[in-house]
Structure 1
């Protein structure tokens, strides 16, 4: 499979009366875009588009999703089973607007899996999104049945975000890209002899799929991954929109759709493919609730790896807590099969850093990469501008903030300053590989 992504670099984004791209300036017809999105889903009651730039003294909360605007040159939809009919992913030509993202924001209401982005100041260092121009789609819906629930599907707004990314992406269709990324994934059984002496390496992805109630989990080709069993897929499918983010997972631990589209760890695998190792693809697994479900998935991952002839594996999970059980079990069963594993995840050591980092530990998980401690506290001053609703941090059960603490008070203070756990930065631990965090001994 061969996927080509032509990159068009955006210097600035403006709202106007037409859709255009001239001299690096992306202009979006705001009225037309809003009318289109409301027509597609009559559950949307209120919608606005606001632009946030890197360095702005702006706080965005509650952030629901981020997506990269793209267009498929052959006319297929960007996210099969979501923005259009089911179509194959993983090959063909795309164009992508780089340097910006669609950022979906709740105008009033937040949820457990929603988070915070700071565009400037000390808070900007906590997320990759502060480096991008955020095209914020700020909205509300009539989904009253989940209004006061801590856990929300946010269906209408998430779907609107994906449609909006596709709407913007179409502006790139006739543009000349500045550069091109090419990802070729040859059939595993038809590779040249030069690779046969290289070690075979696979990456095991464990996207969020814990919620047995449907509508909260990541979707693969529009299919709720709670219903999913592990399988082998091409890494180019992931870059090409086969999977989108769900609404359930502590915010800093999530993989947003933007991260699936640009998964840095997978890109790194391509970088040395055929040179240092033979990249044999992705074993797409899941995260479960019951122990028999966890064991079933681990067994299937093991057997797929053995049948592919995998010599080494990377295992990475979306989340922490209950998913740590799947994450560690998968590593142990591969190690028992003679396949050494490197694990990538964040950890939950508590606010003092003294807790057990993973819910389950095993001596065989001896090569772990940490992307950060979800419990670490951050205190920041007010920002001049808030996009969304700061009160959601206190009211709506977001994963790293609270309405009352006898020592710390509430997360969003009356003066606009905040105190919260790392948990609340939207995709802030960037387990997909964007993280700029490092470690030091003290």
Structure 2
């Protein structure tokens, strides 16, 4: 499979008469864009607000992020989700870089939603403060889940994907400024030189714990809770096969933007044929019952061994209960003779003194930490709030609270906030990029 991603580098986003891209400026016809959003009758209120790095803006509750794209030759950007099923990862896709469509709740937030500051102290905690963000701020008539801690956010998430496709279509007839090419020969057809290098598989564990449908990550529109570990071409992940779900403490979340740009996949591609033989992606899942976790780990280990993997990188979307899947997978791979590195964040408590993962094993001796979800963050008021700041305290966001006997409410009367890192939108970037650095004292 050969995937070409043609990039257009966005330097500015403005509203105008026609949705178009020229000389680094993305222009959006706001009314046309909102018409695409309102195709779903469940959308009751909607607005689009542009935010830029350095703006004195706080955005909350953020539900999803998507890179605007267009599939050359026709077909949906997200097969099986925004259109018919088709193979992704082969052909050409056009991408508007340095920008994202952010899906933001106008009122109601929940456990899986987060916060982004576009400037100030808070901006350092998430990559999205560095992007030109097209904020879809909307509400729906999905009253059954408005006051629920867990929200499927279906109408809002799908509206964000439609909007990203609409914006991406403006470059359909243009020549990209740069083309990234991703190609791997079939495993059994590679040159002797490549075959002689250490073989590495990437094991991804997307969020799939909810047994009720509608919350989990999707693969070609299929709920990952119904999936057993599956071998996938890395191009499929980069090209719209994977969609973020709506169940995950937010700093640990893999947004759809993360899947589209998955840094660890790109890094392994960079080393392919030089220092490693990149075999591909084993897409696993996260389960609830212990037997399910053990079964998935066995599948992963068998698959890696059968593919001839000498080493593996395992990344989990989340922490807590998923730690059991994460560690079981690493142990099973090590037992199969596959040297394994893990990527995860930690939950070590506000003082940093607690056990970092729910379960541990001596064989999990090469773990890359992406941060502590429980770290306390205090931020001053921001001039403008997009969405509703009170959602951070009122609606059970994973890092916010309505009251604490010592700290009070996450949202103070002057608009300043105190929260756990948990609520920083995709702040820990377990996908392989991070604004953080670990220092040993």
Report TM bin, short chain. Answer: over 0.9
- In structure 2, the partner of 1:211 is 210
- In structure 2, the partner of 1:85 is 84
Question: Using the alignment, how far apart are the partners of 2:21 and 2:239 within structure 1?
Answer: 23
Runs of 4+ residues over 6 Å off in structure 1: none
Q: Does 1:312 align with 2:311?
A: yes
Q: Does 1:336 align with 2:340?
A: no
Instruction: Classify the secondary structure of the residue corresponding to 2:312.
Output: strand
Question: Using the alignment, how far apart are the partners of 1:234 and 1:73 within structure 2?
Answer: 20
- In structure 1, the partner of 2:34 is 34
Structure 1 residue 441 displacement after superposition: 2.5
Question: Using the alignment, how far apart are the partners of 1:123 and 1:97 within structure 2?
Answer: 25
- In structure 1, the partner of 2:385 is 386
- In structure 2, the partner of 1:76 is 75
- In structure 2, the partner of 1:54 is 53
- In structure 2, the partner of 1:135 is 134
Per-residue CA distance 1:340-382 (angstroms, 9 max, x = gap): 1000000000000000000001011000000000000010100
Question: Using the alignment, how far apart are the partners of 1:203 and 1:110 within structure 2?
Answer: 33
Structure 1 residue 436 displacement after superposition: 2.3
Question: Using the alignment, how far apart are the partners of 2:359 and 2:336 within structure 1?
Answer: 20
Structure 1 residue 22 displacement after superposition: 2.3
- In structure 2, the partner of 1:144 is 143
Structure 1 residue 148 displacement after superposition: 0.8
Question: Using the alignment, how far apart are the partners of 2:328 and 2:177 within structure 1?
Answer: 44
Structure 1 residue 16 displacement after superposition: 2.0
Question: Using the alignment, how far apart are the partners of 2:110 and 2:168 within structure 1?
Answer: 28
- In structure 2, the partner of 1:435 is 434
- In structure 1, the partner of 2:11 is 11
- In structure 2, the partner of 1:22 is 22
Structure 1 residue 25 displacement after superposition: 1.2
Question: Using the alignment, how far apart are the partners of 1:147 and 1:438 within structure 2?
Answer: 37
Question: Using the alignment, how far apart are the partners of 2:169 and 2:363 within structure 1?
Answer: 48
Structure 1 residue 196 displacement after superposition: 2.1
- In structure 1, the partner of 2:243 is 244
- In structure 2, the partner of 1:278 is 277
- Normalising to structure 1: TM-score of the pair? 0.99
Instruction: Classify the secondary structure of the residue corresponding to 1:61.
Output: strand
Question: Using the alignment, how far apart are the partners of 1:113 and 1:343 within structure 2?
Answer: 23
Q: Is the 8 A contact 1:209 1:286 kept in 2?
A: yes
Instruction: Classify the secondary structure of the residue corresponding to 1:157.
Output: helix
Instruction: Classify the secondary structure of the residue corresponding to 1:329.
Output: helix
1:317-328 equivalences under 5 Å are 317-328=316-327
Question: Using the alignment, how far apart are the partners of 2:440 and 2:184 within structure 1?
Answer: 40
Q: Which runs of 5+ in 2 are unaligned?
A: none
Q: Is the 8 A contact 1:63 1:115 kept in 2?
A: yes
- Normalising to structure 2: TM-score of the pair? 0.99
Question: Using the alignment, how far apart are the partners of 1:294 and 1:172 within structure 2?
Answer: 44
Q: Is the 8 A contact 2:36 2:159 kept in 1?
A: no
Structure 1 residue 175 displacement after superposition: 1.7
Q: Does 1:288 align with 2:276?
A: no
Instruction: Classify the secondary structure of the residue corresponding to 2:124.
Output: helix
Instruction: Classify the secondary structure of the residue corresponding to 2:348.
Output: coil
Question: Using the alignment, how far apart are the partners of 2:288 and 2:360 within structure 1?
Answer: 18
Question: Using the alignment, how far apart are the partners of 2:94 and 2:23 within structure 1?
Answer: 17
Root-mean-square deviation (Å): 0.7
Work out the number of aligned pairs and report it: 441
Per-residue CA distance 1:40-93 (angstroms, 9 max, x = gap): x11000110000000011000000000000101111100011110111111100
Q: Is the 8 A contact 2:231 2:282 kept in 1?
A: yes
Structure 1 residue 197 displacement after superposition: 1.2
Structure 1 residue 210 displacement after superposition: 0.4
Q: Is the 8 A contact 2:3 2:90 kept in 1?
A: yes
Q: Which runs of 5+ in 1 are unaligned?
A: none
Per-residue CA distance 1:223-244 (angstroms, 9 max, x = gap): 0111111010000000000001
Q: Is the 8 A contact 1:17 1:31 kept in 2?
A: no
Per-residue CA distance 1:302-325 (angstroms, 9 max, x = gap): 111111011000001000000000
Instruction: Classify the secondary structure of the residue corresponding to 2:181.
Output: strand
Instruction: Classify the secondary structure of the residue corresponding to 1:246.
Output: coil
1:354-393 equivalences under 5 Å are 354-393=353-392
Q: Is the 8 A contact 2:36 2:162 kept in 1?
A: no
Instruction: Classify the secondary structure of the residue corresponding to 1:63.
Output: strand
Instruction: Classify the secondary structure of the residue corresponding to 2:168.
Output: helix
Question: Using the alignment, how far apart are the partners of 1:226 and 1:49 within structure 2?
Answer: 33
Question: Using the alignment, how far apart are the partners of 1:236 and 1:185 within structure 2?
Answer: 9
1:163-182 equivalences under 5 Å are 163-182=162-181
Question: Using the alignment, how far apart are the partners of 1:181 and 1:13 within structure 2?
Answer: 23
Question: Using the alignment, how far apart are the partners of 1:373 and 1:22 within structure 2?
Answer: 41
Q: Is the 8 A contact 2:392 2:410 kept in 1?
A: yes
